[in-house]
Amino acid sequence: MHFAMLQRIASATFFLIVSLLSVSAAYAQDSSADPGIPRADRPQLSVTARDGGGTPITTAGTVKLYRDGMLYNETGLSHGRAFFDSIFFGDYTLIVEATGYKAAQRDVNVSVAMRYEIDANLQREGTTDAEGPTKPLLAPKAKEALDKGLKALSKNKLSEAEKYVNEALQLAPGHPDVLYVQGLLLLDQKDWAQAQGVLERASQMDPTNSRAFSALGMALADQGKYDQALPPLEKSLQVDAGNWEAQWVLGKSYYHLQQYDQALKSSQLAWTESNGKAPQIELLVAQSLTAVGKYEDAAQALRDFLKRYGDRPEATTARRWLNGLANNGKINRN
C-alpha cells in the first residue's frame, strides 16, 4: 500500500512537470510568433511605412536604426513593415527609405520594456512638400556637433569651431550641410582655395542651398576670381532672391570687373535687403555711384555712413573718399 501511494505521487509529479513544460513551450512559441509580445526585459520597435494616403507602402525599402549618431541596426521592409527586437534603452533615430519615395526620419526615446509602434509617412519622389526632406538626413549626433560648430563660428571661436566641424565630418563625412559649414570655417581661416573645393562639393550635392552657392562665390572672389564668382552668386539669388550676402559679393565682383551699372544695382539691393546688418555695403554703394558719375549721390551716401557709423574703423575710409570728391571738384565742399 505504501508502494502504491508512492507510485501515485510519482505519476502526479510527472504529469505536473509535463504540463508545466507544455505551457512554457507554448508561451515561448507564441512569444516568438507574435511580434506584439516583447521579452520582459527588452523593448521592441515596430515600424510601418505609409504613403500620403496612410496606406502601408508595398515597394522595397530599408529601415536604418541609429543610436548616438552611429548605425545600430538595419532591416528591410516587408509589406511596409519592419521590426527591431530586443533593443537597449536609449534615444534612437529611424531613417526609412523606399523605392520611389523620399526618405523619412523619426526619433524615438526607448525607456520602457514594451513594443513601440512607429508610423513613418513617406512622400513620393517628384512631389513638393515644405516638410519633405530634399537631401540626406543628418543623424542627431552629427547635427549636434554641426550646430555647436556654427555657434562657435558666429562667435569667431575658430579653434572650437574646428573641433566640432571635425567631429561632424567623422560622423557624416559626405553630408552637404557638413561640407557647407566646413567651407565657412575655411573661409574664416582664409584658406580660400580649399574652401572653394569643399563648397563646390556642397553646392553640387545640395543645389537648393542658396548660402552654399554664395559662400562659393565668396571663396572665388577672395581669390580675385571675380568672373568665376558670378555664376554661383547668380545661382544663389535664383534659389533665394533675398540673400543679401550674395548680392553684396556680386556687387563687389561686378565692381572689380568694371561693370559699374550692375555693381550699383547689386550693392543697392544688398544694402536694402541687409537692413543695416553690414554697414560696409553702403561704402560699396558710394564707390559704385562714383564710378557711374553720380558724385553728389555718392557724397550723400558717405555722409549718411559717417552720421550712422562714425565710430567704426571704416569711417576713416569714408572721410578720405568724401574729401577726395571735394578736392577733385566733383562735389561742392560743405
Tell me the per-residue pLDDT of 113-156, one tens digit each, with 9 for 90 and over. 888 899 888 888 765 444 444 566 788 899 899 999 999 998 99
What is the mean predicted confidence (pLDDT) over 40-54? 81
Render pLDDT for 165-222 as a digit per residue (tens, 0 to 9).
999 999 998 899 999 999 999 999 999 999 999 999 999 988 888 999 999 999 999 9
What local confidence, expressed as pLDDT, does residue 41 receive? 67
Q: What pLDDT score was predicted for residue 9?
A: 38
**How confident is the model at residue 69, as a pLDDT?**
64
CATH of domain 44-121: 2.60.40.1120
Band of residue 334 on the pLDDT scale cut at 50, 70, 90: low
Higher pLDDT, 60 or 269: 269
Q: What percent of the chain has pLDDT over 90?
A: 54
As a whole-number percent, the residues of the chain with pLDDT over 70 amount to 83
When the pLDDT of each residue in the chain is averaged and rounded to a whole number, the result is: 84
Q: Which of 1-15, 78-92, 118-132 has the lowest mean pLDDT?
A: 1-15
Q: Which three cell numbers stand for residue 185?
A: 570655417
Which residues of the chain are in CATH 2.60.40.1120 domains? 44-121
CATH 1.25.40.10 maps onto the chain at 140-261
Distance, in Å, from the CA atom of 86 to the CA atom of 43, rounded to the nearest integer, reads 5
Q: Report pLDDT for 71.
A: 80
Range 20-29 average pLDDT: 37
| SS3 of 75-137 | EECECCEEEECCCCCEEEEEEEEECCECCEEEEEEECCCCEEEEEEECCECCCCCCCCCCCCC
Burial pattern 156-186, b for ≥16 Cβ within 10 A else e, equals eeeeebbebbebbbebbeebbbbbbbbbbbb
**What gap in Å lies between CA 45 and CA 67, rounded to an integer?**
13
- Is 3.30.465.10 the CATH number for 140-261? no
Q: For residue 14, what pLDDT band results from cuts at 50, 70 and 90?
A: very low
